[in-house]
Amino acid sequence: MVASGDSAGTNAYGMIEDGVLATCDGKIAWLGPRGSFPGDVETAAGEVVDLAGRCITPGLVDPHTHLIYGGDRLGDFERRLAGESYAAAAREGSGIGHTVAMTRGSDDATLFAAAAKRLATLIRHGATTVEIKSGYGLDVDTELRLLAIARRLGSELGITVRTTYLGAHMIPPEYADRREAYVALVCEVMLPRIAAGGLADAVDVFCETIAFTASETGRVVAAARALGLPLKLHVDQLTDGGGAALAAHAGALSADHLEYANDAGIAALAASGTVAVVLPGAYYFLREERKPPVAALRAHGVPLALASDCNPGTSPISSLPIAMNLACLLFGFTPYEALLGTTKNAALALGLHDRGELRAGLRCDLAIWDVASPSEISYALGADLCTGVVVAGVPRVTA
């Protein structure tokens, strides 16, 4: 079976029973029913792989992760279980600040090895493209190290890794009384060095009451745009700060979180084409009560993507199928929307138009599943359903 992702098929997934998918030079050369293939499959192909009735979907795309970090946040987890809020932990020096300290104290080999395990888990569950943010260094040296490690992860694990600079994640402790100086460091020192080194594919800012103000976010946005770097913004997670509209007006690839996004912001996203990335793992793990306005985003035609948000403090999840299940049960996604949100729409959230669908001419990134229907990917929580992935026509992981 082939789930083409084309709703013009016989069902929402565009399922092709007894399908054939041909690849050449890393791209999809042909797909359709076996009976429509022009000629004999075995004769035409250099190699034939019989998947014995398994289901092929586009390779999954994770458009929002924080995979590289030192230490853990078990202390935060236990304090939240005792009733402490995420915002309170951040104000008291735990949260992101704790991870920054642990990351700064870790060498490259340790950071790479730990992140490689997390990335391997994502791949094992169907991911072929993963975004990785910096943001746990918050000084020049460590931020550069994190982005370089992210580049190396993609190369050594054989998938696409898109890197995002998140130096504006929080104000580091040494700049607690010098916010202006830290924003200047981000805009005038870090960003130019990162751009010159080709280390980042995009720039992110955590625009929130516990992080960066809208004005400070605007400064980072302007500096990134001047350097020709695309934008992806954390907005409206804990409060309505007008972040959705800010992201839309900045022409950001995506606006992420959005729990408190207002109607004007949603309309602005729709007009700009900015993708809404929702993060059900963080909502679940923080036991939040305010859900992102999925129905309003859907009604306005805003593309909906979802991500693992893999990070030590608020979403220690390394599986997109788990995020898909949570999106369905907590946010009201349909299984089809969940698959679309981790394929085509997730690719758009990274500015990638060459993947996310099974269509001739597109990159041959595939996930292979031992399921009777793609809906099972969202349904079977925690199951090992992915039997392999293909990246640019090359098998990378097999069961």
Tokens matching residue 126? 């169907």
**Given this model, what pLDDT does residue 10 score?**
46
Summarize pLDDT for 201-255 with one digit per residue, the tens. Answer: 999 999 999 999 999 999 999 999 999 999 999 999 999 999 999 999 999 999 9
Query: Other CB atoms closer than 10 Å to residue 38's CB: what's the count?
Result: 8
pLDDT for 3: 67
The pLDDT score that the predictor gives to residue 289 is 93
Q: For residue 348, give Cα distances in angstroms to 37, 45, 232, 293.
A: 30, 32, 11, 20
Q: Which residues of the chain have pLDDT under 50?
A: 6-10, 398-399
The pairing of strands 366-369 and 394-398 is unpaired
Give domain 60-349's CATH number out of 3.20.20.140, 3.30.365.10, 3.50.50.60, 3.40.50.300. 3.20.20.140
The CATH class for the domain spanning 2-58+356-398 reads: mainly beta
Q: Which two tokens stand for residue 343?
A: 């394929």
Distance between CA atoms of residues 147 and 288, nearest Å: 30
Q: Cα–Cα distance between 393 and 365 in angstroms, integer?
A: 7
Q: Where are the domains of the chain?
A: 2-58+356-398, 60-349
- Residue ranges of the alpha helices (H) in the chain? 41-44, 74-81, 86-91, 96-104, 108-124, 140-157, 179-185, 191-197, 214-226, 243-249, 263-272, 280-285, 294-299, 320-331, 335-341, 344-349, 375-379
* Phi-psi group of 292: left, alpha or beta (phi > 0 → left; psi -120 to 50 → alpha; rest → beta): beta
The residue type of 57 is T
Q: Contact 65/133 with Cβ under 8 angstroms? A: yes
Question: What Å distances lie between residue 139 and 134, 135, 165, 204, CA to CA?
Answer: 11, 9, 12, 16
